[in-house]
Amino acid sequence: MLDIRYIRENTQKAQELLNLRSNSQEYDLAPILELDQQQKELESTRTELQRRSNEIGKLVPQKIKQGENVDQLKQEGNKIKQEINDLEPKEKELKTSIEQLLLTLPNFPSHSTPVGKDEQENVEIKRWGDEFIKSQQVLPHWEIGEKLGILEFEKAVKVAKSRFVALFGAGAALERALISLMLDCHIAAGYTEVMPPILINSESMQGTGQLPKFAAEGFNCPQDNLWLAPTAEVPVTNLYRDEILDLAQLPIYHCAYTPCFRREAGSHGKDTRGLIRLHQFNKVELVKIVSPQTSEKEHQKLLQDAEAILQILKLPYRVIELCTGDLGFGAAKCYDIEVYLPYAGKYREISSCSNFGDFQARRANIRYKESGQKGTNYVHTLNGSGLAVGRTMAAILENYQQIDGKVQVPRALQPYLKREFL
C-alpha cells in the first residue's frame, strides 16, 4: 500500500510514477485526496472541540470554587462531548474509504526500473547456457511425457477439469526430486525452510496484494473465508503480519514448497496443453524480509539464488528486467528468469524475482525497530520462485530429450532419482 502522506505532499510526482504503468488511466489520485482533505478538516474540527472541552474541564472547578454558576459551561461541555462522539464514526468511515482506495493502487516503480510501455520494452540483462541449446527437432514436453507414461492429462480432467495433470511413476518421482533439490540448495544458501498453511485468510491475501484486485484469480472457500494459496509468498510473508521485529532479526530468509492454485483468469486459449499454465502446480518460493538499507543488494542475491537452480540443472535461460509498463501490481522492481523450451524455440518465464519495497509491509503492517531508537520503520519484502517445478520439468523433458525417445536425467538430479534416464 502506498503512503498517503507521500501522496498528499508529492501529488504530482506520485501521479507521474503511476502514469508509468501500462494501465495508468485507472489510477486517479483525486478521489483519495478529496477524502483525505475531508478527514483533515474533521480532525481539525475535533482537535478544536477537544481543546475547548479540556478548557471547560479546567474552568468548571475554578468557577465552582469561586461560587459562580457553571450550568451553562456544563451544558456547553456536554454538547461538545456529543459533537466529538458524532465525529468519531464519520472519521472512521473516511479512514476506511481512503484505505480501500489505497488498496487498489499499485506500487510505485523503483527509480532504477527501466521506463517502457509494455513487455516489448523489457530489457534483457543476460543469457546463460546458450551452448546447451539443441538445434535438432524435438517433441513438445507433453508428448514426451505421454509417450513415457509419466504425464496424464486426460485422466486428470476426469478427476478435476482441464489444466490439471496427474503424474505417474518417474514423473511423480521427478517432481519430488526437483522439489528436494531446490529446497536443499536454498537451505545451503542460508534460507530457513517453512511449511506454511495452504488455506489462508483474506487478511493474508490483502497483506501481500492479491486482494482486492486479483480476487478473480483465486480459488475461494467462502464458507470458511479461506483461499487456496496462489503462491507461498502469501502465507510465508504473512507469518510476520502485525509484528514489530528487532533490526537484529533482519534479514529473514525463508524458502517454502507449496502447491499453488490459480484460476488463470484471462488466459483462455494460452498454453492450453502441457505444464506451463495449470490451475494447480508445485513451486518452491524464496521470501526475504529485510531492512530498506540492504533491499537492493538482497534483490540481486535473490536473483542469483533462483538462477543457481537452472545452472545446477544446466538448463539454458535468460534474465529480463521488466519495464514500468510490465511490472506486477506490487513490485517496485522485477527480474524475470526465462528458461529455454526447444519445441517452441522460445524462452518462457520460470521465475519472477520482485522487490516490493515497503508496499506489502504497509498492507501487512510489518515493521522493525532499531535498538535505542524511538519509533518503528516498515521492512522491505522480496520474493521469487526458486523455481516453478512444473515448468522446470517441462524444460528438462525438452532440453534433455534423446534421439531414442528417452530423457536423460540431469546429473544433479541423479542422486535423488537413482537413475540416468526416464
349 given a catalytic annotation? yes
What is the pLDDT, as a whole number, of residue 270? 72
What are the pLDDT digits (tens) for 70-88? 889 999 999 999 999 999 9
Candidates 277, 291, 296, 318; catalytic one = 277
Out of 1.10.287.1770, 3.30.930.10, 3.40.50.10240, 3.40.50.150, the CATH code matching 119-417 is: 3.30.930.10
SS3 385: strand
76 given a catalytic annotation? no
What is the pLDDT, as a whole number, of residue 23? 73
Who contacts 174 (Cβ-Cβ below 8 Å, separation ≥6)? Answer: 150, 167, 393, 396, 409, 413, 417, 422
What are the pLDDT digits (tens) for 286-311? 999 999 999 999 999 999 999 999 99
Looking at domain 4-102, its CATH architecture is: Orthogonal Bundle (1.10)
Q: What is the value of pTM for the model shown?
A: 0.93
46 given a catalytic annotation? no
Q: What cell numbers appear for 299 in the block?
A: 534483490
CB atoms within 10 A of CB 417: 18
CB 2 within 8 A of CB 357: no
What is the pLDDT, as a whole number, of residue 310? 98
Phi–psi pair at 210, nearest 5 degrees: -75, -35
What is the pLDDT, as a whole number, of residue 201? 98
In the chain, where the domains are located:
4-102, 119-417
Separation in Å, CA 157 to CA 152, 154, 161, 166, 270: 9, 5, 4, 9, 17
Question: Pairing mode, if any, of strands 333-341 and 166-167?
Answer: unpaired
CA distance 90 to 396: 59
411 given a catalytic annotation? no
Chain centroid to CA 51: 44
What is the pLDDT, as a whole number, of residue 24? 63
Question: Pairing mode, if any, of strands 367-369 and 346-355?
Answer: unpaired
Q: What cell numbers appear for 332 in the block?
A: 517496485
What is the pLDDT, as a whole number, of residue 341? 96
Mean pLDDT of successive 10-residue stretches along the chain, which has 422 residues: 96 96 83 96 94 93 90 92 93 95 97 96 96 86 97 97 96 98 98 98 98 96 97 98 98 98 76 91 98 98 98 98 97 98 96 98 98 94 98 98 95 97 96
Candidates 262, 348, 363, 367; catalytic one = 262
Q: Which residues of 14-36 are buried (b: 16+ CB within 10 A; e: fewer)?
A: beebbebbeebeebebeebbebb
What is the pLDDT, as a whole number, of residue 134? 79
Phi–psi pair at 103, nearest 5 degrees: -65, -20
Candidates 352, 354, 385, 398; catalytic one = 352
What is the pLDDT, as a whole number, of residue 268? 65
Look at the alpha carbons of 64, 69, 75, 80 in this order and tell me if their dihedral is positive or negative. negative
CA distance 324 to 21: 5
Candidates 233, 295, 391, 398; catalytic one = 391
